[in-house]
Amino acid sequence: MTPLDPQPATGEPQAPGPAEPASLGLQVQVEQAAPMPLSGAFACAAGEMLALVGPSGAGKTSLLRLMAGLLRPRQGRVTVDGEVWVDTATGQWLPPQRRHVGLVFQHYALMPHLDACDNVALSLLHLPGPERQAQARHWLDHVGLDAAQQKRRPAALSGGQQQRVAMARALARQPRLLLLDEPFAAVDQMTRQGLYRLLADLRRELAIPIVLVTHDLHEARLLADRLVVLDQGRVLQQGTPAAIHRAPRNARVADLVGLQNRFEGRWLGPAEPQGTGRLQWTGPQLAQRPAAAHAAPQQDPVLLVPDKRRLEPGQAVNWVIPGEAIELVEPARRQAGDLDGVVSQVRHLGEITLCTVDLTGPPWARLTLTLAGARPALLGTLDALSPSVGPDALHPVAVRLDTRLVHVMPVRSA
């Protein structure tokens, strides 16, 4: 484990002991039940971008406020480059004024009575007047505001321009930690692309930890090196976006990161070859299955999936399979092990196509596929289907699963 590896997430309260490695970048650890529950630990290295993701009320903004010093934890510790910003164990506390943190507020929090330049200059009060103005102009130039815009008050600027002023104000502090609270929520898509570019440039030149709060998973995956998944104030899982999508810790994480194909099953135990196990895909209760299921009850299918040796035979499990591991083939090309289904919905949304497939045999489950334009084989099939059969007509397909990509999670009694 390198010093920058995140500490194990959630659950057990962890006291930072003397054995803690020399801490670079940001280290956060918090454990409190009131006034709002917050629990977990995470780290963010210099130059790294960490995204806090989760539903509203998950505690994302509270954690940001904790780092900025606007919220004092009941029990917790925040360090940046080894300097203690707060440590409830030793009673250390650095007020927000002395933290040198750049915080971009969700609604920017620009001073309405000051023009853009004075807004930025406000965070440079330690400098003499003329120097302050020069620095403020420098930062506004840097984020791409022209001289005329710099003289305007926030009300006369567009959302994207206000966002840039907020960014310039945060940067002018020469922060040691940059915090972004839903920074792109209120700007349109075109403006957003420009801001993404700005953020990418800044990130390269700043080399400080950057923490981004967002509920937009697409954005989080696009921008962040690592994700911290939060729910009800708890850190559920952290890791690279790819790792979390490949192997969510539990069903809740799978739902929170938007994995669509999550199913239930029963773990049957290890199998040959070594490292694999048998997973029975259990669908809905018989009563909820279509009439055809009652006519000819069959066994739920058993899949051969990777085994990480964490599960007991007979244990109820949740499992996910990524969209890229699901292939639809013409019924004529059906092979042994393929499942029968019908395409029940096809929705074309610009460059992506949403497609649902209902299995016509056990376990009678529904699969959801988001197909990018770059899936010619599959799209070819669908395009061939749609005109002849109409958008919602049921068209039979064979479903082929790459079960090597299945990820199995124990069901936890929450």
Partner 1 sequence: MDWQAVRLSVELALVTWLVLLPAGLALGRWLATTRFAGKAAVEALVVLPLVLPPTVLGYYLLVGLGAASPVGAWLATHFGVQLSFSFTGLVVASVVFNIPFMVQPIQRAFEAIPRDLAEAAAVSGLSFWQTLWRVELPLAWPGLLSATVLTFVHTLGEFGVVLMMGGNIPGETRTVAIAIYDRVQAFDLAGADRMALLLAVASLVAVAASFFASARLTVRR
Q: Is 97 in the site for partner 1 (CB under 8 A)?
A: yes
Q: Distance (Å, rounded) from C-alpha 192 to C-alpha 163? A: 10
43 forms bridges with which residues in the sheet? 27
Q: Is 138 in the site for partner 1 (CB under 8 A)?
A: no
Q: Is 349 in the site for partner 1 (CB under 8 A)?
A: no
Residue 203: CB atoms within 10 Å:
17
- C-beta closer to partner 1: residue 182 or 231: 182
Q: Residue count at the site for partner 1 (CB under 8 A)?
A: 27
Q: Is 126 in the site for partner 1 (CB under 8 A)?
A: yes
397 and 341 in contact (C-beta within 8 Å)? yes
Q: Is 296 in the site for partner 1 (CB under 8 A)?
A: no
Minimal distance, residue 126 CB to partner 1, in Å: 7
Task: Select the residue interacting with partner 1 from 4, 24, 109, 268 (CB under 8 A).
Answer: 109
Minimal distance, residue 3 CB to partner 1, in Å: 28
Binding to partner 1, residues 170-189 (CB under 8 A): 173
Q: Distance (Å, rounded) from C-alpha 7 to C-alpha 334? A: 47
Stretch that binds partner 1, among 96-104, 260-268, 322-330, 406-414 (CB under 8 A): 96-104
Q: Which residue stretches of 207-356 are H helix?
A: 217-223, 241-246, 251-256, 291-295
- C-beta closer to partner 1: residue 133 or 386: 133
3-state class of 410 per DSSP?
strand
**E strands, 116-261, where?**
177-181, 210-214, 226-231, 234-239
Q: Is 411 in the site for partner 1 (CB under 8 A)?
A: no
Task: In the chain, count H helices and then E strands.
Answer: 11, 21
Quick one: CA dihedral 17, 20, 22, 23, positive or negative?
negative
Q: Is 111 in the site for partner 1 (CB under 8 A)?
A: yes
**E strands, 243-351, where?**
262-271, 276-282, 302-306, 316-320, 326-329, 339-349
Q: Is 208 in the site for partner 1 (CB under 8 A)?
A: no
Task: Select the residue interacting with partner 1 from 22, 125, 336, 374 (CB under 8 A).
Answer: 125
- C-beta closer to partner 1: residue 126 or 309: 126
Q: Which residues make up the interface to partner 1 (CB under 8 A)? A: 68-70, 95-99, 101-103, 105, 107, 109-113, 122-123, 125-126, 153-155, 169, 173
